[in-house]
Structure 1
Amino acid sequence: MLKPASSLVQKYNVPGPRYTSYPTVPYWEEASFSREAWQQSLQRAFAESNASEGISLYIHLPFCESLCTFCGCHKRVTKRHEMEQPYIQAVLKEWDLYCQLLPDRPMIKEIHLGGGTPTFFSVAHLQQLIQGILAKAIVAPEHEFSFEGHPNNTTREHLQALYDLGFRRVSYGVQDYNEKVQKAIHRIQPYEHVQRVTEWARDIGYTSISHDLVFGLPFQNLEDVLNTIQQTTQLNPDRLAFYSYAHVPWIKGNGQRGFKDDDVPKDELKRTLYEEGKKKLLAHGYHEIGMDHFALKSDAMYQAFQQGSLHRNFMGYTASKTQLMIGLGLSSISDSWYSFAQNEKTLEDYYARLEQNEIPVFRGHVLTAEDLMIRRHILNLMCSFQTSWAEPEMQFPELPEVLKQLEEMQEDGLLTLFEDHLQVTEQGKPFVRNICMAFDLRLKRKVPSTRIFSMTI
């Protein structure tokens, strides 16, 4: 018998990770990490996978002309566009340092430009960046290049220039169309701007257009969410991210203090925003794939989900999996599967390390054998809503304790347990972060003494 949604919210609305990695960043063991260890891990992953599948690049472009108060990204707010060229040169130098470590030309399967605001940069500077990257690489026959575009400053010239360089996917941050909500989050953009850039991208030939929507924003109510989704479906994007706003002002400081805590929807109301929004998306032909993501059947993300090849990393969900992802730019995180490495977080430190001809990583984590196994369980849950411990390499001493916790979740209707695997139920999909937490051995062994994660609901 299914339990009422309200009682599940009360029980499972706890602080928890979003699992873009395992171990999550607060549990990285930095004492065992070094730049030399990262470079060895990088070379190992490259040798294992470059020729067969290629690599991914995440390039962080951090500049924004104004501060969006809902944002948790590392950014530099400025209107000084003369900062573009030095940053492009720094990223290309970082790429050159990586290429010097690699025995062969890298084959690039995936590029994603994130931010900040990638379209803060001029067309000429974006062309310089991508052409500089590709000059030292081979492009994989099947590749996916994507970027995040701000509806207010993405021009047709941006879209055409990046299309000509091989980009076929663009994501637009919409958040919510209600003016009161937009003012609270300092992100004023009318529907007409989103419509314009969406239609431009479709006209140019982009094969996947995505809109990012956020629920749980300050002053947001159910009517706002449903109206935003109604307007969004009129534009028929190929895929959607329908995110929960992570209210963490104790971490992000002034950026999330542009409104009061009481202005943010809580618990049952926030869950209602998601559930009713999800119903409306499903009614318009979108299918749930992974946590907080939806796609039409024609989109590559849906097809990857159906085929069991969907992957999740620091860029989010991707249909184009590679073992090695190199992050370029300040605060970017790289992933070799065997280890993580994060770049310096400030522009000044990032530039200083590059001036010393050093790859600008400042912290990271080398995964243990246990980490690698738990990471596979969590990726299975996040990408396909199931996992199995049938094989010995997927078993661990604490498994009986984990199964006991999963039995309680089964009683609550969140999952179905079988002898050697589990399947998340429809009712359990919104609680997949909680299910992942049952497998998170590092979190079990060391519960944070202070609140470091957003609420799971």
Structure 2
Amino acid sequence: MTMSLIQKYNVPGPRYTSYPTVPYWDQDSFTPEQWISSVKQAFKESNDTEGISIYIHLPFCESLCTFCGCHKRITKRHEVEQPYIKALLKEWDLYCKEFGETPVIKEIHLGGGTPTFFSVENLTTLIKGITSKGKIADKHEFSFEGHPNNTTKEQLQALFDLGFNRVSFGVQDYNPEVQKAIHRIQTFHDVARVTLWAKEIGYTSISHDIIYGLPFQTLSHIIDTIEKTKSLSPDRLAFYSYAHVPWIKGSGQRGFNDSDVPKDDEKRLLYEKGKELLLNNDYVEIGMDHFSLKSDSLYKSLNNGNIHRNFMGYTSSKTKVMIGLGVSSISDSWYAFAQNEKDIEKYYELLDQGTIPVVKGHILNQEDLIIRKHILNLMCSLSTDLTEDIDKVDFSKTLEEMNEFEKDKLIDINNNTIRVTKKGRAFIRNICMAFDLRLQANKPDRQLFSMTI
């Protein structure tokens, strides 16, 4: 990869877990009533055939990791667990009343924060409370994010007994200097212990998250981290680019200087070397930032054409309806997006009033739905065909940029079909940005997104 291409395309850009992206939601024309109406429509259309997905945000952490961009509350007071679980179940009950019939639960994902902050008893109460009002789909996928330092064998066993078959452990990097900078101290022994427990219990998909571009990280650190990871053979890997956005995340990313963070070619080299090591050890590149073994459901869904991308990242199946429960959670009805209140106390107040705690969102218009489809095609299948929509949306600016990508050998264009080349995979965010008509129409006057490379 030439330096000139990195210099040319290394600009701020979204990761496209949604379209439109959150900063471009039309909040002025959004109402909670419209949101509920869209949920009812999508639920009626798809519950019997697809089922629904549920994302549950568990925001508490005992300490702050400075690389993290998630909404969280730092506390060591575990008495916060039960009131929060009670609130989640109250929110779920409000949605179930709107559904009008029993939901078929295809996916559950526990994110954070730190889901394993919660005790076995409280996690059990939560999941039983959710599933008692629904029917678990035959080929369901329940997953959670585990912190290697505080995930217990009892938690792993209890969640497995409740139907969980996937777990993701945050590794980030094994180097002590890097760990100190990001305030995430954990040893290889800690990660190995919880990984082997999960294998022993019977989890069918174990994932590790690794981040490149962290402060003080060097090529030798990436090589060491991936060598150690290989020895544990996780079924899939998320190999993320560190999103250095201290202007958004505040003091949490000011524990080191900007000059300590690898940039441009130096950062990209970390990814290319990591990718090379993964590909040489039987991992397949699934999509942006994701790799898996061929035995994993994510690889099988890629081959079957069922892979999907949403606010949870890549998933092995698609549901129209994804309900987000908990503070800051984002929901998707396919026709609309909605985000919950971020402040825990205000979240509780809304629920006490019998109100679904949605405070902002976006109703997708016809153009949004078309663009969303093509961005999803590119992110999931690395190709898209504009033929059906070329007369419905003004793609003139998009096609101008496609010509430039084609000159740089990042894509191939055949009639109206656009295919991302092997070289172009590194620039998938840039390629998708060319379809982002809302971004093109209203360029931000300040940096909203992390750098694309």
TM-score, normalised to structure 1's length?
0.98
Distance in 1 between the 2:393 and 2:114 partners? 45
Give the aligned residue type for 2:396: P
2:128 is the counterpart of 1:124: no
Give the aligned residue type for 1:370: E
Distance in 2 between the 1:396 and 1:251 partners? 36
Shift of 1:327: 0.2
The equivalent residue for 1:179 is: 176
Give the aligned residue type for 1:439: F
Q: Which runs of 4+ in 1 moved over 6 A?
A: none
Shift of 1:398: 2.4
2:418 is the counterpart of 1:418: no
The equivalent residue for 1:200 is: 197
The equivalent residue for 1:406 is: 402
Q: Report matched runs for 1:287-306 at 5 Å.
A: 287-306=284-303
Cα pair distance change 1:357/1:397, threshold 3 Å: closer
The equivalent residue for 2:93 is: 96
1:353 to 350, 353, 362: 350
Distance in 2 between the 1:76 and 1:400 partners? 45
Which deviates more from structure 2 when the two are superposed, residues 303-312 or residues 155-164?
Answer: 303-312
Distance in 2 between the 1:59 and 1:401 partners? 38
Give the aligned residue type for 2:212: F
2:217 is the counterpart of 1:211: no
2:15 to 15, 18, 37: 18
2:307 to 285, 297, 310: 310
Shift of 1:430: 1.0
- For 1:236-263, what per-residue CA distance to the aligned partner results, in whole angstroms no more than 9, with x for missing partners? 0000000000000000001111111100
Look up the SS of the partner of 2:100 in the other structure: coil
2:62 to 41, 62, 65: 65
Q: Report matched runs for 1:106-145 at 5 Å.
A: 106-145=103-142
The equivalent residue for 2:447 is: 451
Gaps of at least 5 residues in structure 1 are: none
2:159 is the counterpart of 1:162: yes
Distance in 1 between the 2:51 and 2:81 partners? 29
2:35 to 27, 38, 50: 38
Cα pair distance change 1:108/1:415, threshold 3 Å: same
Distance in 1 between the 2:51 and 2:42 partners? 10
Aligned CA-pair RMSD: 0.8
Query: 2:367 touches 2:393 (CA, 8 Å); kept in 1?
Result: no
Give the aligned residue type for 2:429: R
The equivalent residue for 1:341 is: 338
Give the aligned residue type for 1:263: D
The equivalent residue for 2:430 is: 434
2:226 to 225, 229, 233: 229
Shift of 1:396: 3.9
Give the aligned residue type for 1:442: R
Distance in 2 between the 1:330 and 1:349 partners? 9
Distance in 1 between the 2:52 and 2:419 partners? 31
2:258 to 261, 265, 270: 261
Distance in 2 between the 1:442 and 1:397 partners? 12
Shift of 1:395: 4.5
The equivalent residue for 1:389 is: 386
TM-score, normalised to structure 2's length?
0.99
Query: 1:373 touches 1:394 (CA, 8 Å); kept in 2?
Result: no
Gaps of at least 5 residues in structure 2 are: none
Q: Provide the identity percentage.
A: 65
